[in-house]
Amino acid sequence: MKLSKAKFIVKAGGQIRGKLRVPGDKSISHRAVMFGALASGDTKVTGLLEGEDVLATVSAFRAMGVQINGPKNGYLEIKGVGLNGLSAPNQALDMGNSGTAMRLLSGIMAGQNFNSTLTGDESLNKRPMSRVAEPLATMGAMINTEDKGRPPMVITGSQQLTGINYTLPVASAQVKSALLLAGLYAEGKTSITEPAPTRDHTERMLRGFGYGVDSDYPKISLTGGGKLTACDIDVPADISSAAFFIVAATIAKDSEIVLEHVGINPTRIGILNILILMGADIQIQNKREVGGEPVADIHVRSAKLKGIEIPEDQVPLAIDEFPVIFIAAACAEGLTTLSGAEELRVKESDRIAAMAVGLKILGVDVQEKTDGIIIRGGPYGGGKVDSVSDHRIAMAFAIAGLRASGQIEIDNCANVATSFPNFVTLARNCGLTIESVS
């Protein structure tokens, strides 16, 4: 529903049951479009997420002369133009609400021989881009941003890029990926050192497209001047979308669900590790590998959770799933403490602040920290909360309805379409009483 005032109304209680496949992984979908466009030959993609974020990436490459057929039912065909085959767009490339698309594309655009501008919606244009713009500048890129490093990003083409040896100040797959993508166009070697493991979809997919990447944790390196060769991509179901149903089946009484074909990349399973530490009943079944990415079916049953101190080494592995982890913590016995998660303050919203405000409205005992949160679990009620136009916060509070004692009304939910267009339908089908209204 593309309406700024769209809201969810969720009735209290419910039971979660069934077998379902959530939409394709957003991170992998973005990369499949980008790499397919920059490859030589035709790339066929199945399981693509047809959310607004990914469609913004598709539109950007079409605007640069790439022929893309689809998507239809998750299927997409991309006629690759090669690393140096993009054409200058006629206008600014609008990335909508997608920070992933903007950051990764900034690395690609830094290596082009034409000028470009990357912009987004009101929310995206408030997000900091200096953490990609600054290291790209050390490679020789010329990027101008608005005050405090905010978009639009104006990128001057025809700059000679040079590989760098860069240590990330904060673990970030998006910054790492932007620099690696710029490294494709750079002279010499680009090496990135991570302070903690982050998702490695970029490295895996580059190898899938035939580009050599050296991974010797904590350093990832590649040398510029190579080429990408088209291949077929089968996108796994997104664990970030599956997370809402994993928590739902865990916190709702007498519930059981199987989530099929979910990506279980080791750099993305913080949500599973954290919930299991809290006492969740989660079984990983039918493990296999598809297109270089590990996938499995995830079987979840109701469980009584206990509060924990979330290990800091799990934070980068669950960074997108914390809104719904906070709902699990609100249903757990005792205190759950999160530290080392400053990154949550610069996502689509300040997710620590927004979740703390909403949880307090429901009656949950919450204490904000600069780099995290403390949540004391227990019974909570209903109320009216604001998702602040953040898709993950909207869906997290929808799941909270399963344990609420009253109805929950969630405002500003239109952006759920960016990552999970059929969330309401799937949620209804497995037992949540939810309505989307304008």
Tell me the catalytic residues. Answer: 320
Contacts of 122 (CB under 8 A, 6+ apart): none
3-state secondary structure at position 236: coil
3-state secondary structure at position 178: helix
3-state secondary structure at position 13: coil
3-state secondary structure at position 360: helix
- Quote the CA–CA distance of 118 and 103 in Å, as a whole number: 9
Task: Please report the DSSP string for 34-64 in residue order.
Answer: HHHHHSEEEEEEES---SHHHHHHHHHHHHT
**Strand 219-223 with 189-193, pairing:** antiparallel
- Quote the CA–CA distance of 308 and 329 in Å, as a whole number: 9
- For the CA atoms of the chain, what is the radius of gyration? 21
| 350 alpha carbon, distance to own chain's centre | 15
Cis peptide before 266 (omega within 30 of 0): no
**Strand 7-10 with 434-437, pairing:** antiparallel
Contact 277, 308 (CB under 8 A): yes
| 34 alpha carbon, distance to own chain's centre | 16
User: Count of CB atoms within 10 A of residue 261's CB?
Assistant: 20
- Quote the CA–CA distance of 148 and 162 in Å, as a whole number: 26
Contact 264, 237 (CB under 8 A): no
Contact 7, 436 (CB under 8 A): yes
Nearest to 121, CA basis, from 424, 431, 422, 417: 417
Q: Using the CB atoms, write b or e for 390-416: b if 16+ within 10 Å.
A: bbbbbbbbbbbbbbbeeebbbbbbbbb
- Quote the CA–CA distance of 123 and 125 in Å, as a whole number: 5
Contact 59, 84 (CB under 8 A): no
- Quote the CA–CA distance of 277 and 275 in Å, as a whole number: 5
Nearest to 395, CA basis, from 411, 416, 377, 380: 416
